[in-house]
Amino acid sequence: MGAFQKVIIVGAGPAGLLLALFLSKEMIPVHVLEAASEIDDQPRATHYGPAGVQELERAGVLEAIRAEGFLPKDLCWRKEDGSIIAELQQEHIPLHSRVTSLPVNRVAHIILDALRQHPTAKVDFNYKVTRTGQDDDKAWVEVETPAGVKTLEASYIVGSDGASSTIRKNLFGDSFPGQTWEPWFIASNVYYDFDAHGWDDINFVIHPQNWFMAARITKDGLWRVTYGEDGKLTREQCIERQQERYRSMLPGNPGSEQYKLTNISPYRVHQKCAEKFRVGRFLLVADAAHLCNPFGGFGLTSGIVDVGGLYDCLSGIYNGLADESILDKYDEIRRRIFIEQVDKLSTANLQRVMMTEPGRALELDPFLNAAANAKKDPEAAARLAQMARGANALKHDFRQYYKTFKTESSASEHLCCT
Ligand SMILES: Cc1cc2nc3c(=O)[nH]c(=O)nc-3n(C[C@H](O)[C@H](O)[C@H](O)COP(=O)(O)OP(=O)(O)OC[C@H]3O[C@@H](n4cnc5c(N)ncnc54)[C@H](O)[C@@H]3O)c2cc1C
């Protein structure tokens, strides 16, 4: 028996399911409540960066994700005519840190399958949380279920209910500080022979209007093409323009008979961070807590890292290794990492592809310059490694706030001095 009774997790997206899996491995009782009748199949995340990959490995699901997905070999930035501005090879990066690709709905299914092996985990679909409350001893949610409205209680309640989080709104109303990008982001999945045009696994095309990303997302040749449309268009107008946009943007200027479009969704995209990630017994993770644009794959990657951190905090409390103040550390540090790293890096990634003078990209952008010269110039390689370190700064080991803890790098036990 641990120091508390149960955690309710609101939202069976990848973040909520992963937290449930981590906690279940320690026999901490969890109850996942999901409003929808099944896992969301929209075309969203596809690529997970090193910090997220390491947490997926810690949760024991990386092998299954990589078995179904794959490791992209190389990425590059191109001009509108397809010529390469800079290229980065991935193969020399250690395996445990390699970007991994698999559509997010498949990732969620793999995590759910692993979770279902644990007797202390309960997952209910068609359970929509509407209201929340808490006192000194417990927190509760009011839930619309097929059997009527229920009130469910737990020691802690985690909002992993995505961008429109009910938990966040119940805590902060409509306040979700940040900004919304003007263009629509059109995320489409398509079978098209990019290989015939010599394209890399991940390609960013730099252009002030016709910027886009094309990345292989499955082993059987499905690609994600994400591009911008005028924010004043309607959703329907964006979808109507798809054939024309593909013909003008993609290599080979294909007509619709040359590819098979399997999915298309326009998105409004934001850079936002909740006022706090902890209010008493309520905690926020991933999209419920923060949002960023998809260029560079920081959204869910940083959400997965939140989850790993929150797991360490809750597990520390449950096992008597930490007191509740560790949750304030979670709030303070995960918010700081979002604001100082994720928000800045993801914004820079997007601004890079929207650059007004692609012809001067190497002159104007130190990152592209270092990437383009890294192979032949050791100083450029060192600059690139320095800049790439930002991505690793997403992580923070909350076990250092335990009364006793072991670091990842050493087996020796330290006494906590805070
Ligand atoms: C086009 C696009 C591409 C992207 N690409 C990448 C990428 O390559 N790499 C990356 O790391 N990130 C990427 N992202 C971001 C990534 O998709 C999200 O960060 C991630 O899906 C968020 O996961 P989540 O579990 O926090 O939320 P969600 O996946 O949104 O899950 C939230 C769940 O909560 C449920 N829910 C909502 N309200 C309630 C309620 N009241 N009661 C009960 N349940 C509720 C919802 O039904 C849903 O199932 C991309 C995003 C977009 C839009």
Please state the three-class secondary structure of 91-105 as a single string.
CCCCHHHCCEECCHH
Q: Say what the pLDDT of residue 389 is.
A: 64
What fold is seen in the domain 7-179+271-400? FAD/NAD(P)-binding domain (3.50.50)
Q: Is 302 in the pocket of ligand 1 (CB under 6 A)?
A: no
Do the strands 270-273 and 290-291 form a parallel or antiparallel pair, or are they unpaired?
Answer: antiparallel
Q: Say what the pLDDT of residue 393 is.
A: 87
- The rounded Å distance from CA 375 to ligand 1 centre is 37
Quote the CA–CA distance of 352 and 368 in Å, as a whole number: 9
Residue 334 phi/psi, 5-degree rounding, is: -65, -35
Architecture category of domain 180-270 in CATH: 2-Layer Sandwich (3.30)
Write out the chain's pLDDT in tens, 418 residues.
799 999 999 999 999 999 999 999 999 999 999 999 999 988 799 999 999 999 999 999 999 999 999 999 989 999 999 999 999 877 777 888 899 999 999 999 999 999 999 999 999 999 999 999 999 999 999 999 999 999 999 999 999 999 999 999 999 999 999 999 999 999 999 999 999 999 999 999 999 999 999 999 999 999 999 999 999 999 999 999 999 999 999 999 999 999 999 999 999 999 999 999 999 999 999 999 999 999 999 999 999 999 999 999 999 999 999 999 999 999 999 999 999 999 999 999 999 999 889 899 999 998 899 888 887 888 877 777 777 666 678 999 999 999 976 555 443 333 332 2
Contact 328, 281 (CB under 8 A): no
Three-state SS for 264?
strand
- The rounded Å distance from CA 162 to ligand 1 centre is 5
CA atoms within 13 A on the CB side of 352: 25
Contact 39, 99 (CB under 8 A): no
Q: Is 314 in the pocket of ligand 1 (CB under 6 A)?
A: no
Q: Say what the pLDDT of residue 415 is.
A: 34
Quote the CA–CA distance of 273 and 301 in Å, as a whole number: 15
**ipTM associated with this complex:** 0.99
Between the alpha carbon of residue 266 and those of residues 227, 261, 370, the distances in Å are 9, 14, 33
Report the amino acid identity of residue 5: Q
Domain chopping of the chain, boundaries: 7-179+271-400, 180-270
Quote the CA–CA distance of 255 and 311 in Å, as a whole number: 49
Sign of CA dihedral 89, 92, 97, 100: positive
Query: In the structure encoding, which two tokens stand for residue 193, read together?
Result: 């022979």
- The rounded Å distance from CA 13 to ligand 1 centre is 6
Q: Output the residue whose Cα is nearest ligand 1's atom 9.
A: 297
Q: Is 286 in the pocket of ligand 1 (CB under 6 A)?
A: yes
Written as one string, the DSSP assignment of 48-113 is E-HHHHHHHHHTT-HHHHHHHSB---EEEEE-TTS-EEEEEE-TTS-GGGS-EE--HHHHHHHHHH
Sign of CA dihedral 335, 338, 340, 343: negative
Q: Is 213 in the pocket of ligand 1 (CB under 6 A)?
A: no
Q: Say what the pLDDT of residue 407 is.
A: 56
